[in-house]
Amino acid sequence: MRLSVLIGSMGWGLAQSQTITFRSLEASSGSLPTNSSFVFDGTNSDIAQQLYNRHKAGDPGAALDLTSVPAAVTKRLNRFNIRFNDLPGLVQRAVLWDSGFAISPDNDPVQIWPMGDHSMADIAIPKADVANVDCTFLNCSQPNDETAYSTKFCTGYQILNASRCVVDVFEDAGAGSFLGTMWSTGGDPDMTPELRLRDHTWTQDIKEFGGNVTFSVYAVHTVPSGEDPAWDVCPSGYGALTVPCHRRDQFSDAFMAANTTVPTGSAWVTTWLEDEFAQSSGFNKLLLLPILLSVVAVLALGWFFWRLRAKKLAEKLTYEYGGVSPHYWSGDTPDMVVRPMLVTSQLTSQFSTLSSHYESVGSNQTLKILLGSEHLQGRHIPFESLVFEKAISKGASGEVWICEYNGHKVAAKRLLQTKHQRAHNVQAFAEEIELSASLTHPNIVEFIGVAWNTLNNLVMVMELLPMGSLQQYLRENGVFLSWSNGKIATFC
């Protein structure tokens, strides 16, 4: 009989894989536990309910010091803006267990998968199932006169044949020397259960299998390590629940997918978390509409004042420069007429290239001079009416051209067309133009007008002297204007 049980345990997966189905562990009812007859005595693994009862009774519990909080637990708590580390210790343990986790000796949270149609609340193995795999028991009395049981003679094959859970692989440095029991029942009804995982590893001589066989059984212990009784020794007081489980590395992924479930948490624990620990997200959705309306109002008010300011500015400019053709305000005066002469083509290219480099700082003052000066009223010349023919003089900052205007030859003075023309140079030239326009005398060159298509391309149109400039006249006729010739002429 013993041999048949051992052989059957090794073929457990093949024998059971066709009958176990996958199901969700989320409980159908979200109501909080009200069953006063519930007793945590090792016959069930509803650790979450026991921790709930002890929390409601006011029992203390140290906070867990985990190496990390499982993502599944964090996601579950995030729904209610709850931080795991802010929960009381007993509640931390309840949420961890209900979500399918226990704690390794290194304080790592370790995943547990219930097998078949079991949940975290009933992965405890009934005594009858342990007896069915031919394990023997140690019977121990408890203070409440109830009997606690633990396995006495039982191989790893036997107990795993009755197991209802799989535990992910973890490290246990003391596995080889640990002599605790791997299955037990009993418990103090007022205890606060722990979630301790241990690796029961031992080597056993089994003649039916040709000698020594090494077993490794993972088990959940619900009392502190100092209260764990050794194998074949009764505890001094109450017994405690111990739940044996398979190792995850004993099964393939396909087997796990077909025969185990990932706990999603029971609905009543979710209700408990929401009712007692849910935190406000810090934002009341009822305030959303007033906030949006306020934002719209501020934007509308800002737009209104911007429009009002723009309107006042436009009125001010219109007042200052009243009567001036908007044709010049817009700056879209047509480019000068392009004659089939090389010099005119070159100038057109220069105008289009250099106008983009004009520095706009101070341009308002320049426009104020050109459009607001009383001396320039009626003296604006359309730029396209000028035909540039020949440059006759060039200085440090300006040049003079011979142009044709209305069938007459005129002189046109302008700034040098450079890429780095400064605004203050243009303004200074505009002031020079205004000064020239204000001077009227028979012995002074006549001011004809001013033209521009961009402020960088500002032109002062003057009367052309056919004999050239004073400097040129003196250079060409200096011999006739010497002091000696002057005295001779006077003597005669």
Q: What is the pLDDT of residue 291?
A: 84
**Mean pLDDT throughout 263-281?**
90
pLDDT of 189 higher than 50: yes
Residue 405 and residue 291 share a domain: no
Those residues with Cβ within 8 angstroms of residue 339's Cβ, 6 or more apart along the chain or in another chain: 387
Q: State residue 308's pLDDT score.
A: 81
β-bridge mates for residue 217, sequence order: 200
Give the strand pairing for 109-114 and 137-141. Answer: unpaired
Q: Mind giving me the DSSP string for 59-101? A: ---PPP--S---HHHHHHHHTTT--GGGS-HHHHHHHHHHTTE
Do residues 430 and 377 lie in contact, with contact meaning Cβ atoms separated by under 8 Å?
no
Residues 253 and 343 in one domain: no
* Residue 213 maps to a domain: yes
Q: Are residues 442 and 368 in the same domain?
A: yes
pLDDT, position 287: 66
Asked if residue 394 is part of any domain, the answer here is: yes
Assess if residue 325 is contained within a domain.
Answer: no
The answer on pLDDT for 450 being more than 60 is: yes
Tell me the C-alpha distance between 134 and 290, whole Å: 72
Please indicate, yes or no, whether residues 290 and 265 belong to a single structural domain of this protein.
no
Q: Which of 277-281, 460-464, 485-489 has the highest mean predicted lDDT (pLDDT)?
A: 460-464
Shared domain for 299 and 420, answered yes or no, is: no
Residue with tokens 């007692």: 276
pLDDT of residue 313: 61
Both 96 and 160 in one domain: the answer is: yes
Q: What is the pLDDT of residue 423?
A: 82
Average pLDDT, the chain: 81
User: Are residues 223 and 302 located together in one domain of the fold?
Assistant: no
Q: Please indicate, yes or no, whether residues 245 and 309 belong to a single structural domain of this protein.
A: no
| DSSP calls for 418-454 | -TT--HHHHHHHHHHHHHHHH---TTSPPEEEEEESS
- Give me the domain span that covers residue 311: 285-320
Strand order from edge to edge, sheet including 408-415: 387-394, 398-405, 408-415, 458-463, 447-452
Residue 489 falls within a domain, yes or no?
A: no
Which percentage of the chain shows pLDDT scores above 90? Answer: 56
Instruction: Determine the average pLDDT of the residues in 54-82.
Output: 95
Mean of pLDDT values over 409-429: 85
Tell me the Ramachandran region of residue 107: left when phi exceeds 0, alpha when psi lies from -120 to 50, beta otherwise: left
Query: What is the H or E stretch that residue 35 is in?
Result: none
- Residue 253 resides in a domain: yes
Residues 303, 262 share a domain: no
Average pLDDT (187-199) is 96
- pLDDT digits over 97-112, tens only? 999 999 999 999 999 9
At 208, the pLDDT band (50, 70, 90 cuts) reads confident
Residue range 266-281: mean pLDDT, rounded: 89
Residue 465 sits in a domain whose CATH number is 3.30.200.20
Residue 327 falls within a domain, yes or no?
no
Q: Which of 314-323, 376-385, 476-485 has the lowest mean pLDDT?
A: 314-323
Q: Quick one: pLDDT band at residue 416, thresholds 50, 70, 90?
A: confident
Residue 492 lies in a domain: no
Query: At residue 424, does pLDDT exceed 90?
Result: no
Over residues 76-87, the mean pLDDT reads: 95
Question: Could you give the number of structural domains in the chain?
Answer: 3
| Three-state SS at 212 | strand
How high is the pLDDT of residue 298? 87
Q: Do 133 and 5 touch, CB atoms closer than 8 A?
A: yes
405 & 294 share domain? no
Asked, for residue 491, whether it belongs to a domain, the answer is no
pLDDT higher than threshold 60 for residue 146: yes
Highest-confidence range of 33-42, 61-70, 289-298, 393-402, by mean pLDDT? 61-70
Range with lowest mean pLDDT among 15-19, 60-64, 483-487: 15-19
Clarify whether residues 256 and 382 are in a common domain: no
Residue 95 shares a structural domain with residue 195: yes
Residue 249's CB is within 10 A of a number of other CB atoms, namely 10
3-state secondary structure of 457: helix
Residue 32: per-residue pLDDT: 87
